[in-house]
């Protein structure tokens, strides 16, 4: 039988028995004492001050979707968050098993922002709040998980909160895509000039405090009266490195989130504490701890396995851990880079194999068309499965691993160059192109974008016969993937609609 977990409820339920938590509470809680722990939804995390919604100046662009939120029944607001954050020091060696024990160390004042997307109609809210650690790899706050998941989050009635948790997003710093000019304080000093980030050693506690702010019952309310039943933390790429460290080191102390969505991490993890606060060596290989408090679902692409050196960090599924690996996918792809920005969840283009796309014209130019695989569809299914698991339903399915062999390790590929193993979708099982997470060359970040190499007309006809037969096979494969849990039923029709538009050349 698949593992099940008792459902979690915020904020009324007492999360842990007081005798168990009291030692930590005396050390960390804002209001120590057994009689007060039950009344605080996040007793081990300091509660920050909230200010907002912010209206001065102009809001900074967040690399997320460009859809009209009001048109899908959602509202947007921005809030400032301030307080005193803690860095954390290890109490012993940090091993590859992720069973890390830490204590609070240095403190520093901070002032950052959160961005909130929530259902305008409270009746649409289903109780789940996704808290995304915004990604700063490009020198600005980006929301890759909102991009990949937003159609599912909206149709399910989830709220989403993006957290500016890291220094570069607030203060600026060197970056391939524009340096400090894209940081919040440089985008609009009038609106963001008062923000202060003390450094990434404090990012974990800043992220925790953002979650704690969503559970408050008094004072300013970023959720506009919505009462969260579940907080699910999410992070992609660099943010997934941070999320891995958070799960292993901070969650046993903070005990705040009800689940974690770790998307496209590489080998190892982000520093727990770093200069100038401290300099703690991190293991080269890091697994998610096997004594997890809450569910963790990690989703990986082909690029992550070898290009980002995740392969040594692979680990078996456990009572509260699942690892999904998606064949034919890249760390970032056509959907992440431009299709997802305008996707309302009803366009066949989201399921199409696009063979002539540049990632960011004029800024990034790659040598080959970037990957247009099915990652975002599987991401939505993965998050839906995690959400059910957090609610107390059955655990997500066990994913097959992408086939890897040899020394040096290489992904095993079929006669068309597509990966063997892993989660299968129509893009791989009824192929019209080679979809890889490897082999891209060109400008900055291109190595993360994978490739799309279309088959010629002769190959397509020999493989599928006719366009009608191809479309029928796609529909059959999509139905099978839905049955296996890799695609959501709401997304299944898009595969057939995209297949109907395919024309064999020649």
The domains of the chain are located at: 50-500
Question: Within a 10 A sphere around the Cβ of 495, how many other Cβ atoms?
Answer: 28
Burial readout 327-339 (b: 16 or more C-beta within 10 A, e: otherwise): bbbbbbbbbbbbb
**Which tens digit of pLDDT belongs to each residue from 251-272?**
999 999 999 999 999 999 999 9
**Which tens digit of pLDDT belongs to each residue from 141-183?**
999 999 999 999 999 999 999 999 999 999 987 654 444 568 8
SS3 233: strand
Pairing assessment for the beta strands 230-236 and 296-300 based on DSSP bridges: unpaired
Do the beta carbons of residue 284 and residue 268 sit within 8 Å? yes
Angle, CA of 6, 11 and 17, to the nearest 5°: 60
Question: What's the token pair of residue 110?
Answer: 């901070």
The pTM of the full predicted model, rounded to 2 decimals, is 0.91
Please say if the pLDDT value at position 122 is more than 70.
Answer: yes
pLDDT confidence band for 415 (50 / 70 / 90)? very high
Spatial separation of the C-alpha atoms in residues 325 and 439, rounded to whole Å:
19
> 486-491: long-range contacts (C-beta < 8 A, 24 or more apart)?
486/377, 486/378, 486/381, 486/423, 486/424, 486/425, 487/374, 487/377, 487/378, 487/381, 487/425, 488/152, 488/377, 488/380, 488/381, 488/384, 490/152, 490/155, 490/345, 491/345, 491/351, 491/377, 491/380, 491/381
Question: Within a 10 A sphere around the Cβ of 75, how many other Cβ atoms?
Answer: 15
| Helix H or strand E encompassing 380 | helix 375-391
pLDDT of residue 175: 53
Average pLDDT, the chain: 89
Over pLDDT 90: what percentage of the chain?
80
Please say if the pLDDT value at position 7 is more than 50.
Answer: no
pLDDT confidence band for 16 (50 / 70 / 90)? very low
**Which tens digit of pLDDT belongs to each residue from 177-209?**
444 568 899 888 999 999 999 999 999 999 999
Please say if the pLDDT value at position 308 is more than 60.
Answer: yes
The whole-number average pLDDT for the span 473-491 is 98
| Helix H or strand E encompassing 107 | strand 102-119
pLDDT of residue 365: 83
Lowest mean pLDDT among 292-301, 336-345, 464-473, 483-492: 336-345
480: alpha, beta or left, given left = phi > 0 and alpha = psi -120 to 50? alpha
């Amino acid at each position: 039988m698949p593992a099940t977990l008792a459902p979690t409820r915020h904020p009324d339920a007492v999360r842990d028995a007081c005798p168990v938590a009291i030692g930590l509470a005396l050390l960390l809680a804002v209001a120590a004492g057994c009689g007060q722990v039950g009344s605080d939804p996040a007793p081990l995390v300091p509660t920050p001050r909230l200010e907002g919604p912010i209206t001065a100046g102009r809001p900074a662009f967040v690399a997320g979707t460009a859809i009209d939120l009001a048109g899908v029944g959602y509202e947007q607001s921005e809030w400032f968050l301030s307080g005193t954050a803690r860095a954390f020091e290890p109490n012993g060696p940090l091993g590859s098993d992720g069973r890390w024990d830490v204590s609070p160390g240095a403190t520093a004042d901070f002032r950052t922002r959160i961005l909130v997307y929530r259902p305008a109609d409270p009746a649409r809210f289903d109780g789940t709040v996704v808290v995304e650690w915004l990604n700063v790899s490009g020198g600005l706050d980006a929301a890759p998980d909102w991009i990949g998941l937003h159609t599912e989050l909206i149709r399910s009635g989830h709220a989403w909160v993006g957290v500016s948790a890291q220094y570069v997003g607030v203060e600026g710093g060197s970056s391939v895509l524009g340096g400090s000019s894209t940081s919040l304080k440089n985008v609009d000093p009038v609106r963001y000039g008062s923000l202060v980030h003390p450094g990434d050693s404090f990012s974990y506690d800043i992220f925790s405090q953002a979650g704690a702010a969503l559970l408050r019952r008094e004072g300013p309310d970023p959720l506009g009266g919505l009462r969260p039943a579940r907080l699910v933390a999410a992070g992609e790429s660099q943010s997934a490195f941070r999320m891995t460290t958070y799960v292993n080191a901070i969650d046993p102390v903070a005990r705040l989130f009800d689940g974690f969505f770790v998307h496209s991490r590489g080998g190892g993890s982000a520093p727990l504490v770093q200069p100038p606060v401290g300099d703690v060596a991190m293991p080269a290989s890091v697994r998610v701890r096997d004594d997890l408090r809450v569910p963790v679902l990690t989703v990986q692409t082909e690029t992550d396995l070898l290009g980002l050196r995740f392969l040594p960090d692979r680990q078996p599924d456990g009572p509260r851990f699942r690892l999904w690996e998606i064949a034919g996918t890249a760390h970032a792809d056509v959907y992440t880079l431009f299709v997802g920005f305008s996707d309302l969840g009803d366009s066949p283009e989201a399921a199409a194999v696009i063979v002539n796309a540049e990632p960011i014209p004029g800024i990034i130019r790659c040598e080959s068309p970037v990957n247009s695989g099915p990652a975002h569809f599987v991401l939505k299914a993965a998050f839906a499965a995690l959400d059910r698991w957090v609610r107390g339903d059955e655990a997500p399915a066990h994913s097959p691993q992408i086939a890897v062999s040899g020394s040096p390790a290489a992904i095993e590929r079929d006669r068309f160059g597509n990966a063997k193993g892993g989660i299968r979708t129509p893009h791989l099982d009824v192929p019209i192109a080679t979809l890889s997470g490897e082999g891209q060359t060109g400008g900055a970040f291109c190595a993360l974008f994978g490739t799309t190499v279309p088959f010629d007309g002769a190959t397509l006809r020999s493989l599928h016969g006719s366009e009608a037969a191809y479309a029928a096979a796609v529909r059959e494969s999509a139905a099978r993937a839905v049955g296996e849990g890799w695609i959501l039923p709401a997304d299944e029709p898009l595969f057939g609609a995209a297949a109907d538009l395919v024309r064999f050349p020649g």
